[in-house]
Structure 1
Amino acid sequence: MIFRILFAGLFIALLSACTTLPDGPETAVNLPSQLEKLKSVTRWQMKGKMAIRNEKEAVSAHVNWKTDEPDFNFRLTNMLGITLANIDFSDGMATLEADDKRWQDTSPARLIYQTTGWDIPAGKLLNWVKGLPLRGDDYKLNDKQLLASLSPGCEACGNWQVSYSNYGEQAGLWLPHQLMLTRTDNTKIWIKIRIDEWTIQ
């Protein structure tokens, strides 16, 4: 698998960097208004760090995710800023470039899994990473009326549990700065995302 070579040794402390994360709102948020605003946000960029674990190994890298829904570009780099993998989804086709090789598939999630062995629900994350549940998703709120956790409501969405923390305000919205995705059928499989910067367009 290409990531075993690309990410060797990168897992150490990337997600424990000293950037201070926001504490969230002081008072409760109007959730219906928040969710309606989030639905209208289709062009955004987030920068941060991402760690992924399966049953055998864990890897970590810096992530730069630019989105103009449904299209997006997802780039992973090492601590020196060198691109390790670039995933582009445009006009219904996903392209992954890494290690001077190129793969394509109509499904970003399937392409990532087939070429790397990592289970990343890329399509669902377009909404989940913003703290926006999809239709049918079950979710719980924190004391500020923002998403604390989410479980997919469809069988095809995978057995994921998403936990949220450290909300910060951007463009009049409260956006999560830490997410933890865990497979409920196998808790050894998880994804951690730490977002240092949101840009809403």
Structure 2
Amino acid sequence: MKIRFLFFCFIFILSGCAQIPVDDAPKNDSWSQHQRQLQNLNNWQLSGKLAFITPEERISLNLFWQQSDQEFQITLTNFVGLSVLDVKKDRSETKIIFDGKTYYGDDTETLIKQLSGFVIPIDVLQQWIKGNPTDAVYQLNENNQLLSLNGQDKHNINWSIDYADYKTTQHINLPHKLQLKRPNLRLKFAINKWIITDKA
């Protein structure tokens, strides 16, 4: 009986040891090297979810974003896959399909807000979403990645962003969760997948 008891204690200890979490979070050797990677990363895609949260409501949508230098396409769909907002920006203008109609303009952010009511600081977010704190005050985590930033959009509105859950895509560590905040508005990004279409 004593031998059997010791045997089960041994098995229990081994199983407990096997459950100790391993720190496999991605790390950057240096911040300057990582930031150069992000600055050179100009062609990419991401997919996930985006939530707009105000004191009055919460709207959750599926997100697809494709970036090619300064040109991009952003598509928001509802839970059954129907398009809510489709934005295409090229060098000359912005084209938005909303509520079955097509609109054109020069100021992407203003046009989105006028049509849908959504506030998205796209001009600065093209860098911030990658974890590159362009024109912002920022803090790093212990892995030399962006932890938080405070910056302004092109309308001089203050935003704060918290970053979490970095994962490695083609040797570049990219955030998979971030939350943007300004008075009476939060934007929560939960990114499922990054695709890099050029090597930084």
Question: TM-score when scaled to structure 2?
Answer: 0.81
What residue number does 2:162 align with? 163
| Structure 2 unaligned blocks of 5 or more | 1-23
Greater shift, 31-40 or 86-95, is seen at 86-95
What residue number does 2:94 align with? 94
Query: Are the structure 2 counterparts of residues 132 and 192 from structure 1 closer, same or farther at C-alpha, using a change threshold of 3 Å?
Result: same
Query: Are the structure 2 counterparts of residues 156 and 80 from structure 1 closer, same or farther at C-alpha, using a change threshold of 3 Å?
Result: closer
**Deviations 1:37-93 (Å, cap 9, x if unpaired)?**
111111000000000123432211110101102000001112222222101111231
What residue number does 1:176 align with? 175
- The 4+ residue runs of structure 1 with deviation greater than 4 A are none
Query: Are the structure 2 counterparts of residues 157 and 69 from structure 1 closer, same or farther at C-alpha, using a change threshold of 3 Å?
Result: farther
Query: Are the structure 2 counterparts of residues 101 and 153 from structure 1 closer, same or farther at C-alpha, using a change threshold of 3 Å?
Result: closer
- Give the superposition deviation at 1:108: 1.1
The within-5 A match list for 1:45-60 is 45-60=45-60
Q: In 1, distance between residues paired with 2:122 and 2:153?
A: 16
Equivalenced residues, count:
174
Give the number of the structure whose alpha-carbon radius of gyration is greater: 2
Query: Are the structure 2 counterparts of residues 51 and 111 from structure 1 closer, same or farther at C-alpha, using a change threshold of 3 Å?
Result: same
- Give the superposition deviation at 1:105: 1.7
For the Cα contact (< 8 Å) 2:123–2:154, is it kept in 1? Answer: no
What residue number does 2:188 align with? 192
The within-5 A match list for 1:75-90 is 75-90=75-90
Q: In 2, distance between residues paired with 1:175 and 1:157?
A: 26
For the Cα contact (< 8 Å) 1:50–1:192, is it kept in 2? Answer: yes
Instruction: Let me know the Cα RMSD of the aligned residues.
Output: 1.7
Question: TM-score when scaled to structure 1?
Answer: 0.81
